[in-house]
Structure 1
Amino acid sequence: METPVLQAININKYFLDPVRFRVLKDISFSIGRGSFVSITGKSGCGKSTLLYILSTMDTDYEGELFLDNEALQEKDNAALALVRNQKIGFVFQFHYLIEEFNVLKNVMLPAMKLGKFSNEMIEQKAMQHLKTLGIYDQALKNASQLSGGQKQRVAIARALINDPLIIMGDEPTGNLDKKNSDIVFGIFKEICLENKQTTLVVTHDPDFAKRADRIIQMEDGKILL
């Protein structure tokens, strides 16, 4: 059996507000390479909290977490930052582009930070991703000049620049109309099929969720399905 790309074992999370409150309850699941998985559930069920733990941005939890067969729960912040930059691509509801930079520079930034390739090679990769996503002609425009749908495609190109093992999305279509939501869904689906990259998306949109390969349904901090 193929080793899972991502594996969570008995993840528990507590908030202090003002008393200790359990938000995630014994979460366990694994995700295989190249699969497209959606996490869905009502607002407040814990799905975004879970994603922030899976993405290593929240380290205050109980349980075990493995990415690419590597245990993450004992790593320090510097080691986790390296894991995030090398192995995880992020797409959020808000694109978080640097508005005064052009599209090309926004896409290149994570790879420039990683420092594995020359800027010339990074630029070539970035332009190829922009071409694949249909926004090649926008490369030299400032991010502030783009529409919402275009900005989200730039955010996806940026998430792909370091060839991550897994793409994680937190409500990536939350600010988009149906047409652009369908475009973004199609992009994620193609990433899985063509590149064998795993995609994990938190969404409250049932139409988006049901088109994924697998749905993880959450309620009151627990997985139902």
Structure 2
Amino acid sequence: MENKPSLVATGIYKSFYDPAKVDILKGISFSINRGEFCSITGKSGCGKSTLLYILSTMDTDYKGELFIDSELMTNKSEKELAFVRNEKIGFVFQFHYLLNEFSVLKNVMLPGFKSSKHTEEELEHKAYELLKKLGIEKLSSKMAYQVSGGEKQRVAIARSMINDPVILMCDEPTGNLDSKNTEIVFEIFKELVHAFNKTILVVTHDENFSKKTHRIITMRDGSIM
């Protein structure tokens, strides 16, 4: 179980036509095992975000194969992919995308409503436990707009965990945070790997952050170095 890959990408190619053909990703292949904390780095325009978009099943227009939790994603219907995104992938973005009209607790619970695995009561308990784990349970009844930027990002991480995903995919999760909050987020990710055996994939410009992850995948001009 330990070393079952959470994600495998094989020969991922992506091109745009503008109007001539531009190759954005050129045969990307790698795998990430369960419990691995991995970062993707590289200069702006090297294809990091495009790759993450494909790995997170949001973009299906590519050549190659993508497996998440040993299941082939290529050629699945949009409905099937939406199910995978909700059940198997937790998302953490640079902007937290919390809904201001809901409390912190409700924001954490939201992805759980789409999955019919738990009753509302169970979800509420689970959400509160996650907030506790991240040291912010005291914020549970506050409205999303009442908490600070660093706290919002921790709420977003709790939300990404509510359906117990196989992998967390994070796009510049510390891009808007100061060094203190960046350190807090890093420690949370480390703890999720350690305590829950989560797989975490982070696209980041932050060298200090990426240096501390288990593995760095460096990209240049659409290829892995």
Matches within 5 A, 1:35-184: 35-184=36-185
Question: Could you tell me how far 1:192 is from its partner in structure 2?
Answer: 0.5
One-letter amino acid matched to 1:179: K
Question: Could you tell me how far 1:115 is from its partner in structure 2?
Answer: 1.4
CA RMSD across the alignment? 0.9
In structure 2, distance between residues paired with 1:44 and 1:25: 13
Query: What count of residue pairs does the alignment treat as equivalent?
Result: 224
Which residue of the partner structure matches residue 32 of structure 2?
31
| TM-score, normalised via structure 1 length | 0.98
Q: Secondary structure at the match of 1:153?
A: helix
- 1:204 partnered with 2:168: no
**What are the Cα deviations for residues 57-82 of structure 1, in whole angstroms up to 9, with x where unaligned?**
11111100001111000101000000
Q: Secondary structure at the match of 1:7?
A: strand
Q: Secondary structure at the match of 2:98?
A: coil
In structure 1, distance between residues paired with 2:136 and 2:114: 23
In structure 1, distance between residues paired with 2:88 and 2:10: 20
In structure 2, distance between residues paired with 1:181 and 1:3: 29
Percent sequence identity over matched residues? 62
Q: Secondary structure at the match of 1:181?
A: helix
| TM-score, normalised via structure 2 length | 0.98
One-letter amino acid matched to 1:75: K
Q: Which runs of 5+ in 1 are unaligned?
A: none
In structure 2, distance between residues paired with 1:111 and 1:66: 23
In structure 2, distance between residues paired with 1:218 and 1:16: 21
One-letter amino acid matched to 2:51: L
Q: Secondary structure at the match of 2:26?
A: strand
In structure 1, distance between residues paired with 2:195 and 2:4: 20
In structure 2, distance between residues paired with 1:198 and 1:2: 11
In structure 2, distance between residues paired with 1:44 and 1:145: 35
Question: Could you tell me how far 1:100 is from its partner in structure 2?
Answer: 1.3
In structure 2, distance between residues paired with 1:118 and 1:199: 27
Which residue of the partner structure matches residue 222 of structure 1?
223
Q: Secondary structure at the match of 1:97?
A: coil
Question: Could you tell me how far 1:17 is from its partner in structure 2?
Answer: 2.4
**What are the Cα deviations for residues 102-133 of structure 1, in whole angstroms up to 9, with x where unaligned?**
10110000001111110000000000000111
